Amino acid sequence: MKLNGVATRSLWFEEDGRSIGIFDQRRLPWAVEKIRISTAEQARNAIAEMATRGAPLIGAAGACGLAMALTDDSSDISLDSAWELLVNARPTAVNLRWALERVRTLVAPLPPSERAVTAWKEARDICDEDAAMNHAIGVAGLELIRKIAERKNGNPVNILTHCNAGWLATIDWGTATAPIYMAHDAGIPVHVWVDETRPRNQGALTAFELGGHGVPNSYIADNAGGLFMQQGQVDMVIVGTDRVTANGDVCNKIGTCLKALAAKAADIPFYVALPSSTYDVQTPDGAAVPIEERTQDEVRFLTGPDENGVMRRIALTTSPARNPAFDITPADLVTAYITDKGVLNGPRELHEALSA
Ligand code: MRU
Buried b or exposed e, range 36-56, using 16+ CB within 10 angstroms: ebbbbebbbbbbeebbbbbbb
Give me ligand 1 centre to Cα 201, in Å.
11
- Count of structural domains, the chain: 2
Pocket mutation for ligand 1, best pick of 9, 25, 202, 338 (most atoms within 8 Å of C-beta): 202
Alpha carbon separation from 25 to 148, 216, 252 (Å, rounded): 33, 22, 19
Pocket mutation for ligand 1, best pick of 97, 252, 328 (most atoms within 8 Å of C-beta): 252
Give me ligand 1 centre to Cα 150, in Å.
31
Examine the residue annotation and report whether 327 is marked as an active-site residue of this protein: no
**Residue 24's CATH number:** 1.20.120.420
Q: What are phi and psi of 18, to 5 degrees?
A: -140, 15
Contact indicator for 322, 296 with CB cutoff of 8 Å: yes
Q: How far apart are CA 215 and CA 192, in angstroms?
A: 8
Question: Are residues 89 and 154 part of one domain?
Answer: no
Give me the count of residues in the chain.
356
Interhelix angle 177-185/203-212, rounded to 10 degrees, is: 20
Give me ligand 1 centre to Cα 101, in Å.
20
Structural domain contains residue 136? no
Question: Are residues 186 and 88 part of one domain?
Answer: no
Structural domain contains residue 134? no
Question: Are residues 296 and 175 part of one domain?
Answer: yes
Answer yes or no: is the C-beta of 170 below 6 A from any ligand 1 atom: yes
3-state SS of the chain is CEECCEECCCEEECCCCCCEEEECCCCCCCCCCEEEECCHHHHHHHHHCCCCCCHHHHHHHHHHHHHHHHHHCCCHHHHHHHHHHHHCCCCCCHHHHHHHHHHHHHHCCCCHHHHHHHHHHHHHHHHHHHHHHHHHHHHHHHHHHHHHHHCCCCCCEEEEECCCCCHHHCCCCCCCHHHHHHHHHCCCCEEEEEECCCCCCCHHHHHHHHHHCCCCEEEECHHHHHHHHHCCCCCEEEECCCEEECCCCEEEECCHHHHHHHHHHCCCCEEEEECHHHEECCCCCHHHCCCCECCCHHHHEEEEECCCCCEEEEECCCCCCCCECEEEECHHHCCEEEECCEEECHHHHHHHHHCC
Question: Are residues 100 and 161 part of one domain?
Answer: no
Question: Are residues 211 and 295 part of one domain?
Answer: yes
Domain termination site, one of 61, 96, 129: 129
Give me ligand 1 centre to Cα 180, in Å.
17
Question: Are residues 149 and 298 part of one domain?
Answer: yes
Answer yes or no: is the C-beta of 209 below 6 A from any ligand 1 atom: no
| CA 325 from centre of chain | 13
Question: Are residues 305 and 162 part of one domain?
Answer: yes
Answer yes or no: is the C-beta of 238 below 6 A from any ligand 1 atom: no
Compute, in degrees rounded to 10, the torsion defined by CA atoms 90, 95, 101, 107: -110
Answer yes or no: is the C-beta of 165 below 6 A from any ligand 1 atom: yes
Give me ligand 1 centre to Cα 177, in Å.
12
Domain termination site, one of 84, 100, 129: 129
Answer yes or no: is the C-beta of 90 below 6 A from any ligand 1 atom: no
Expressed as residue numbers, the domain containing 100 is 2-129
Cross-strand bridge partners of residue 339: 274, 342
Q: Could you tell me the pTM of the whole model?
A: 0.98
Contact indicator for 337, 144 with CB cutoff of 8 Å: no
Residue nearest to atom 14 of ligand 1 (CA): 165
Q: Which atom of ligand 1 is nearest to the CA of 163?
A: 10
- pLDDT at position 356, please? 75
Residue nearest to atom 2 of ligand 1 (CA): 54
Cross-strand bridge partners of residue 35: 22
Answer yes or no: is the C-beta of 325 below 6 A from any ligand 1 atom: yes
| Positions in the chain whose pLDDT score sits under 70 | none
Q: Of the residues 242, 249, 280, 327, which is catalytic? A: 242
Structural domain contains residue 47? yes
Mode of pairing for the β-strands spanning 157-161 and 236-239: parallel
